[in-house]
Chains A and B, each alone.
Chain A
Amino acid sequence: MDTYLSLLAWGSGGWGDEIAAGIWLTVTLALATLPIGLVLGFFVALAKNSEEPSLKTAANIYTTLFRGLPELLTLFIIYFGLQILLRNVFTSIGLTPIEINSFVAGMIALSLVFSSFASEVFLSAFKGIASGQYEGASALGLSRLQTMRLVILPQLVRLALPGLSNLWLILLKDTSLVSVVGLSDVLRQSSIAARVSREAFFFYFVACLIYLVLSIISSVGIGRIEAWTRRGDLGR
């Protein structure tokens, strides 16, 4: 037991600080992906909800692609594809090509996946809002932007939150894939520790526990947000 604890010690003797750095990277990556994915997903949902056929088709192609591809494949396509694309573009205009950061590649890939699933959540939330809400807002003389901001969005958030919190938990787990393209997240740091210390089971188990703890913390946070969105219901 003591030997295991010393493996997790801080500093040069143990792997505690390395793994903590990995946790930091995992959390930052997930938090950096979330807003991009949410905004993209919202606009894709708007596009799917629109009456314009070209917009609908384009949005459907987007979600079919990124919901159907394995997340790992999306990551590789973005990582290697962007690299090749940037190299070609930069050399053709006579600049030295820049290396694509694996953090950015991971963020883009995860945002694409997150947003295509989020658009489905937003879309079904849109369907849950009665058309009377739009008609009422229009009767009050609200502009389209005002209707969206003051009437639809507050209700949309409440309807979409359960689905979105599910997607957040999936996102947290999907961040582990970036360890494959060399980002030092929880899993990669644990892998290094496992290889060096030859305690593979212990370190991978610790990594699993860290993901569990992160999801428990998230659930508590999501519960608070849910209570906050429902604060209007209390009086009734």
Chain B
Amino acid sequence: MAYETGTHAAAVAHGHATSLGLDSRKMAFWAFIGSECLLFGSLISTYLVYKGRSLTGPFPHEVLNIPFTSFSTFDLLMSSLAMVLALSAVQRGDMKQGKIWLFVTALLGMVFLGGQFWEFSHFVREGLGLTTNLFGSTFYVLTGTHGAHVTVGVIWLLTLWIQALRGKLGPANAMTVEITGLYWHFVDVVWIVIFTVVYLIQ
């Protein structure tokens, strides 16, 4: 796997000898992702506990648009592919490709956010506000928290892209890109769970 080589190269490049041989920033990020699992786990549990307990409509089957969200999901999955290509390019030192794929990842993230914005405003027009019923509250808080995570990821990716444009990102920073990727893939995986729980299993 490209990841393993990257870790090793970065650890050697930084000259940090750690007790477990794993880069400290990467380990901290794994711990952070573990913590985030509990955050999303609590939100998803809340959604499930309140499923079918809305006192008034609109109810999920009346508003959720599975074909449209399937497209968003596909878009986000492709952004993970772009992220892998970006990391691989940066590790190879191919910064031309690296710049392209970092930007494509961010762009696909922005497309997803645009889709979410369209979906939210469409739902509001259909009469589902944040406070309309329990479905609205749990739906907006859960998917909104996820959208906030995507937003942070897009800002982060664009920052790396700008750094790359300024020639300040190279193979020596491969670990930074790898950690960005960890975060990005995690946010993607969370979306797959949300898509399954909220949209597919109504």
Query: Are A and B a genuine interacting pair, yes or no?
Result: no
Instruction: Give A contacts to B, CB under 8 Å.
Output: none
Instruction: Give B contacts to A, CB under 8 Å.
Output: none
